Amino acid sequence: MKPRVFVSRFIPDAGLSLLEKKVSLKVWEGDRPPGKEDLLREAALSDGMIVIPGDPVDREVLAAGHSLKVISSYAVGYDSIDVKAATELGILVTNTPDVLTEATADLAFGLLLAAARRIAEGDRLVRSGGWNQWGPRFMLGKDVSGATLGIVGMGRIGHAVGRRARAFGMEIVYSSRRRDETAEKELGARFLELEALLLVSDFVSLHCPLTPATMGLIGERQLRSMKADSILINTSRGAVVSEEALVRALKEKWIAGAALDVFESEPLPGGHPFMQLDNVVLCPHLGSATIRTRDRMAVLAAENLLAAIEGRIPAHVVNPEVLSRN
Ligand code: DGY
């Protein structure tokens, strides 16, 4: 009998066609995302699952999967999967790094430019019919060239953002769990502790994963320490920033602006205070959303899953401890 695999959304065909050849496939077709009950039911029936960010793959769901061998994250982030529980239960967790690095860095840099040069605000003004002048002091933004970019988390995406920043003539400082010689040599990036980075940066771009250590990393104290004309960009995970503090920072002008692709709760609930503010650019979690990138993620997520089910070592394993136990 073919192994059974559950995929929690229609991922691109490039991935589904790989799976179809080898497994009995169930793709979630509901018009709302699968909830906890759905995942519990599917886990109990499946040998492997492909899930997306935000699917609540907690201990209970994992424990329901008596023949579950692998949870393949269709994302580089895996913060909604209880990796500790998966490891204890001998279930592999895999993810899709590398293939989405450039697309996500493009989006982060696009958001930086949009916030610096007030592109989204300008678009709203033109559409509303409120554009009535070209004036020497009209809608002035912030220079990018010559500005200092603080990169928080110098991983793959942090590097890729750094390369773009160099091309735009920016100075780069970074904070990360450890010093990064390549970033220092190739990007001229200077290592600083987070507190110091926030003090000197004109733009701060977040590229750290969401972990217990980074939850609420940017809160009131950090926002108050940033320059008054600085801009915060977040393409990592919403909960890395305290949204409540950020709303106050934007309203009370502790910082000049923000550009966000990720939120504590997604989709962003209607009437959220961010929606009333002109100095924040809002994007609906589009970091990896290009056709080619999503195809590559689908292939990688499918290949990771198939490798685990067939007893091979997947290319990207989050909890290798499980491998050494088998
Ligand atoms: C990821 O891969 O973690 C992204 O958030 C998806 O775009």
Q: Report the CATH number that the domain containing residue 266 is assigned in CATH.
A: 3.40.50.720
Spell out which residues line ligand 1, taking CB within 6 angstroms: 53, 75-77, 100, 287-288
147 and 24 fall within a common domain: no
- In angstroms, rounded to a whole number, what is the distance separating the alpha carbons of residues 40 and 24? 18
Rounded to the nearest whole angstrom, what is the distance from the C-alpha of residue 307 to the centroid of ligand 1? 22
Same-domain status, 110 and 249: yes
| Residue pLDDT, tens place only, 205-245 | 999 999 999 999 999 999 999 999 999 999 999 999 999 99
Q: Which residues contact 139 (CB under 8 A, 6 or more apart)?
A: 118, 121, 122, 125
Check whether residue 318 and residue 216 sit in a common domain: no
* HEC-encoded secondary structure of the chain: CCCEEEECCCCCHHHHHHHHHHCEEEECCCCCCCCHHHHHHHHHHCCEEEECCCCCECHHHHHHCCCCCEEEECCCCCCCECHHHHHHCCCEEECCCCCCHHHHHHHHHHHHHHHHCCHHHHHHHHHCCCCCCCCCCCCCCCCCCCCEEEEECCCHHHHHHHHHHHHCCCEEEEECCCCCHHHHHHHCCEECCHHHHHHHCCEEEECCCCCCCCCCCECHHHHHHCCCCCEEEECCCHHHECHHHHHHHHHCCCCCEEEECCCCCCCCCCCCHHHHCCCEEECCCCCCCCHHHHHHHHHHHHHHHHHHHCCCCCCCECCCHHHHHC
Q: How far is the centre of ligand 1, averaged over its atoms, from the C-alpha of 53 (Å)?
A: 7
Under 8 Å between Cβ of 189 and 166: no
Is 233 in the same domain as 308? no
Same domain as 54, residue 135: no
Which residues of the chain fall below pLDDT 70?
A: 326
pLDDT at 326: 67
Instruction: Name the residue with the closest Cα to ligand 1, atom 4.
Output: 75
Are 148 and 264 contained in the same domain?
yes
Distances, alpha carbon 76 to alpha carbons 3, 63, 83, 275, 315, in Å:
25, 23, 14, 28, 13
Structural domain containing residue 69: 4-99+291-325
Q: Are residues 177 and 224 in the same domain?
A: yes
- Ligand 1 pocket: which of 104, 111, 294 to mutate (most atoms <8 Å of CB)? 104
Judgement on whether residues 84 and 50 belong to the same structural domain of the protein: yes
Are 200 and 146 members of one domain?
Answer: yes
Do 249 and 124 reside in the same domain of the chain?
A: yes
Per residue in 258-302, pLDDT (tens digit) is 999 999 999 999 999 999 999 999 999 999 999 999 999 999 999
The answer on 302 and 276 residing in a single domain is no
Which residue's CA is the nearest one to ligand 1's atom 2?
75
Residues 13 and 76 in one domain: yes
Provide the domain count of the chain: 2
pTM score? 0.96
